Chain A
């Protein structure tokens, strides 16, 4: 019985009108949770956490920078998984999820690069250095932009989604190779003199706001994804009966 229950539940959620309603119900909760956790995490990070012994208060940008960096990779993982589902089983909802994840992931990657640059200026004395991590993150941004660009280059949106999903899967193979080769490249010329704080050496007073911010960014991503997917589904299914019913319902006072 339970074996049958799970596929049915998943199948139902895979249908656009049911997902539309489900995402609509879930979104306000996720957004509230994201804002709440974000407020707690930022208060903990910017006010409660102790100043760093060497970097003073300047390190506090970590509470934006590191969660964004985690999200930039996490969203790529989600996008690639959805892309795989979209290519293998041609699930329409997975196509929408993959393509609507890309701009959010690109935004988080950009935030990571900008905050990293702002952090680098006072700490390293430069806005940008061709360090392995920085370069990999920049390449990740280009992959995101390539996926978004390819998706919009097609006239047929579902075809564009499948092509971009294929590119996202190529990117999964490419990102580790880039990271490895850039590491090799930078250590050939000179050893990396700059190391970020190791995760195990961080003080507990700094760790909990960081983890709270991580949960907040995850919730924000899900809320944003729900909103984007709802809008995209309405656009994609605009000729369908359920969308027409929604429009008629909305028009009635």
Chain B
């Protein structure tokens, strides 16, 4: 029996996940709607003071995107656990880590990428200076995959449990503190007109590291969580 190569298996998995996500388009829209609602609430809570909103815009957008991603994180493996296809993935002849990396990629494409596309609108609603927009988008492009990768490890750890929503937030918070600091650092520096390449470089370095390590950790965590 000839086994399909790893690249073909990953491509098939990616196509399957994206098709499934497209068939349930409403679920993709939910985090976007959530982010819009949260951003809309800020001016009501803080008062329509443009200078104040402009000052906090970068941080508020970053935290909103993070929370919206956290909302969708729980669903990363849920459907696959319920219908048993995750166990099939563990049993597949191909190594588990690259397959999980593909799943993380498809999850990032369906939840984080729409949020990044929406980010200029969110930033505009809070009057973020357009000069800080490139820093914001680059920080999101490097930072959201980091959150997806970190989140995937934690989601894999909770795969064998029933209730995981609040627990996931508790576990993710310590992990995402450095990511948020560097993302916000880049945006804050850009807002003040300072060079912002250093925090972006840190994010890129962390992403390069986690792209290799997180799928391996995710596979190990999944084996622990599914081992009955």
Residues of A near B170 (CB, < 8 A) are 142, 145-146, 149
A177 in contact with B228 given A149-B167, A153-B167, A163-B157 (CB within 8 Å): no
Interface SS of B by simple majority: helix
Q: How far is the CB of A110 from chain B (nearest CB, A)?
A: 15
Judging by beta carbons under 8 Å apart, are B227 and A174 in contact? no
Residues of B near A170 (CB, < 8 A) are 153, 175, 217
Say which one of B68-76, B96-104, B158-166 lies at the interface with A.
B158-166
A146 in contact with B174 given A153-B167, A163-B221, A188-B185 (CB within 8 Å): yes
CB of B212 within 8 Å of the partner chain: no
Residues of A near B157 (CB, < 8 A) are 150, 163, 166-167
Per-residue interface assignment for chain A, residues 181 to 214, with 1 indicating a CB less than 8 Å from any chain B CB and 0 otherwise: 1101100100000000000000000000000000
Say which one of B12-20, B134-142, B176-184 lies at the interface with A.
B176-184
Q: How far is the CB of A163 from chain B (nearest CB, A)?
A: 5
Per the CB 8 Å criterion, the residue count for chain B at the interface is 28
Judging by beta carbons under 8 Å apart, are A156 and B181 in contact? no
User: Number of A-B pairs whose CB atoms are under 8 Å?
Assistant: 76
Residues of B near A150 (CB, < 8 A) are 157-158, 161, 167, 171
CB-nearest residue of chain B to A186:
B181
Residues of B near A127 (CB, < 8 A) are none
CB of B86 within 8 Å of the partner chain: no
Q: How far is the CB of A177 from chain B (nearest CB, A)?
A: 5
Q: How far is the CB of B150 from chain A (nearest CB, A)?
A: 9
CB of A99 within 8 Å of the partner chain: no
Q: How far is the CB of A166 from chain B (nearest CB, A)?
A: 6
- Complex: A143 Cα to B173 Cα, angstroms: 9
Residues of B near A180 (CB, < 8 A) are 178
Judging by beta carbons under 8 Å apart, are B174 and A142 in contact? yes
CB-nearest residue of chain B to A139:
B174
Per-residue interface assignment for chain A, residues 146 to 188, with 1 indicating a CB less than 8 Å from any chain B CB and 0 otherwise: 1001100110100100110011001100100110111011001
Residues of B near A185 (CB, < 8 A) are 181, 185
Which one of B154, B160, B163, B177 has the highest number of Cβ atoms from chain A below 10 Å of its Cβ?
A: B177
CB of B117 within 8 Å of the partner chain: no
Judging by beta carbons under 8 Å apart, are A181 and B167 in contact? no
Interface SS of A by simple majority: helix
- Complex: A15 Cα to B227 Cα, angstroms: 23
Residues of B near A177 (CB, < 8 A) are 178
CB of B225 within 8 Å of the partner chain: yes
- Complex: A87 Cα to B224 Cα, angstroms: 9
A159 in contact with B224 given A146-B167, A153-B161, A166-B157 (CB within 8 Å): yes
Residues of A near B188 (CB, < 8 A) are 188
CB of B211 within 8 Å of the partner chain: no
CB of B21 within 8 Å of the partner chain: no
Residues of A near B177 (CB, < 8 A) are 135, 139, 178, 181-182
Residues of A near B158 (CB, < 8 A) are 150, 153, 163
A163 in contact with B173 given A154-B160, A181-B178, A185-B185 (CB within 8 Å): no
Q: How far is the CB of B86 from chain A (nearest CB, A)?
A: 16
Residues of B near A135 (CB, < 8 A) are 177
- Complex: A135 Cα to B162 Cα, angstroms: 31
CB-nearest residue of chain A to B170:
A146
- Complex: A65 Cα to B217 Cα, angstroms: 36
Which one of A140, A182, A185 has the highest number of Cβ atoms from chain B below 10 Å of its Cβ?
A: A185
Judging by beta carbons under 8 Å apart, are A153 and B181 in contact? no
Residues of A near B182 (CB, < 8 A) are 181
Which residues of A are at the interface with B, using a C-beta cutoff of 8 A?
87, 135, 139-140, 142-143, 145-146, 149-150, 153-154, 156, 159, 162-163, 166-167, 170-171, 174, 177-178, 180-182, 184-185, 188
Name 13 extra pairs, CB < 8 A, besides A170-B153, A184-B181, A184-B185: A142-B170, A153-B163, A159-B224, A159-B227, A159-B228, A163-B224, A167-B154, A167-B157, A170-B217, A177-B178, A178-B178, A181-B177, A181-B181
